Amino acid sequence: MKKSTLKLILVACFAIFVFPINSQTILDADGPGNTYELINSVLAPGFDVIETPDCAHPAFGRHITEAWDSQLNRYVFEFHIHVTPDNDRCINFDRQRNEIKTYDKSPANLIGVAGETVTYKWKFKLPTGFKVSSNFTHLHQIKAVGGDEADPIFCLTARKGNPNKLELNYYVDSDLSAVKLTSENLSLFENTWVEVTERIKIDNVNGTYSIVIKNVITGATLLSYSNNQLLTIRADNAFIRPKWGIYRSLNNPQDLRDEVVRFASFSIEEDTSTFVRSVKELKPRIMVTQDLNPNIQMLNYSLEKQSRVSIQLLNVVGKQVKTLINDQMQQSGDYRLKIDNHTLSDGIYIVSLVTDQGQSTAKMVIKK
């Protein structure tokens, strides 16, 4: 077998010109039929982002359908869950899952890596008298991939109580219990459309997080929370991704009933905006851009002062693929690294820059 090689050209330069990049993806229902195909075509073309209990309940058919909503005057998605025989994809039988997601097969702009800011928007409507578990009934999760990924980082969940609540929970570590950031009476969210705007600056130390849920009809704010210093990705995670739907415990099925939750107008907008800085202002930061040659990716990075530099190319689950620079001493300034990618498979990669000044990451997408 011919041995693959990765050609590197390192060039010192005076400045890195980086322009704002915004990318928005919208998923809207368009009418009954081919619902799974529609969802997949937006969130991961050619792959499968649907996690439903169809295998346990084939007689019902697909558990995500589309219906006309007279209040919004448009088609919307309906997520169905049945106390029995639905379960979690014929894998777990003490819980039920009917969710959609992005994941490592999704386009690069639909997964979030450290240094990026992502805004998620969507609408949902709970039925009157929505029954919830005393354990968990998740409606939305921000999950991590790679490393410590067992529990979500953020979770919007309905909780049984007196009264029932809609909670925003935070898991700084999978080994630690959830921290309840805020909550409101669940009745505020029943039998009415609400719109959620969630914005996350992704950082494993100084991330920012905000969420606002408003009544679509009245415009009233029903739940709001923000924090400018949160861990929004764990140190060993490769990226974060969203999930929407119904994921609930079956430990107390007597508390539950068959439900239909409506969702509409999913939006993911990624902002990778940065700007030109003078050498004295530069921090260890990197960005990947496409060269005119389709087989070349250009890695731009900056050093504020003399520093040891290591650059690794990782796959989306955090496994090392290539070492680009190994513990090399470099002077302050701006650098460009040309990467010949013809030996790499199509997909999403994470470039990790580690220096004496800190660490930074960027996404690299190869599509031949």
Domain closes at, from 240, 271, 302: 271
Q: Which of helix, strand or coil describes residue 235? A: coil
Query: Which is more confidently placed, 273 or 352?
Result: 352
Q: 76, 111 in Cβ contact below 8 A?
A: no
341 falls in which pLDDT band (50, 70, 90)? Answer: confident
Shared domain for 267 and 207, answered yes or no, is: yes
- Specify whether 145 is located in the same domain as 246: yes
Check whether residue 89 and residue 133 sit in a common domain: yes
Q: Which amino acid is at 307?
A: S
Residue 354's pLDDT band (cuts 50, 70, 90): confident
Condensed to tens digits (0 to 9), the pLDDT of residues 89-123 reads 999 999 999 999 999 999 988 999 988 999 999 99
- pLDDT at position 357: 77
Across the chain, mean pLDDT equals: 87
At 78, list the tokens.
Answer: 């309906």
- Judge if 322 and 227 occupy the same domain: no
Distance CA 368, CA 345 (A): 9
Name the nearest CA neighbour of 183 among 164, 165, 170.
165
* Domain that residue 216 falls in: 22-271
d(CA 284, CA 355) in angstroms, rounded, equals 7
Cα separation of 240 and 112, whole Å? Answer: 5
Q: 120 to each of 110, 145, 158, 362, how far by Cα in Å? A: 10, 18, 19, 20
Q: What percent of the chain has pLDDT over 90?
A: 59
For residue 204, is it within any domain?
yes
Check which CATH number belongs to the domain holding 335 and give it: 2.60.40.3080
Beta bridge partners of 300: 287, 336
Identity at 126, one-letter amino acid code: L
Residues 237 and 292 in one domain: no
Output the pLDDT for position 235: 84
User: Is residue 3 domain-resident?
Assistant: no
**What local confidence, expressed as pLDDT, does residue 22 receive?**
58
Separation of alpha carbons 288 and 286, rounded Å: 7
* Residue 276 covered by a domain: no
* Angle (CA) 14 299 233, round 5°: 115
Q: Which residue has the higher pLDDT, 359 or 28?
A: 28
**Would 2 be classed as within a structural domain?**
no
Residues 232 and 290 occupy one common structural domain: no
In this predicted structure, which of 72-76, 160-164, 213-217, 337-341 has the lowest mean pLDDT? Answer: 337-341
Residue with tokens 């010109």: 17
Gap between the Cα atoms of 29 and 74, Å rounded = 8
Joined tokens for residue 314? 């990782």
Range list of β-strands (E), 52-153: 64-69, 74-81, 95-101, 117-125, 137-145
C-alpha to C-alpha distance for 83 and 138, rounded to whole angstroms: 15
Q: Which residue has the tokens 């999403």?
A: 348
pLDDT digits (tens, 9 = 90+) for 253-288: 999 999 999 999 999 998 855 333 332 333 556 777
**Is 288 part of any domain?**
yes
Q: How many domains does the chain have?
A: 2
Last residue of one domain, picked from the residues 249, 271, 293: 271
HEC letters along 161-195: CCCCEEEEEECCCCCCCCEEEEEEEHHHHECCCEE
Q: Is this prediction's pTM over 0.85? A: no
| CA pair distance 240, 232, nearest whole angstrom | 9
Q: By the 8 A CB rule, do 171 and 153 touch?
A: yes
SS3 206: coil
Burial (CB < 10 A; 0-12, 13-18, 19+), residue 224, is middle
Give dist(CA 200, CA 170) in Å, integer: 13
What local confidence, expressed as pLDDT, does residue 284 receive? Answer: 59
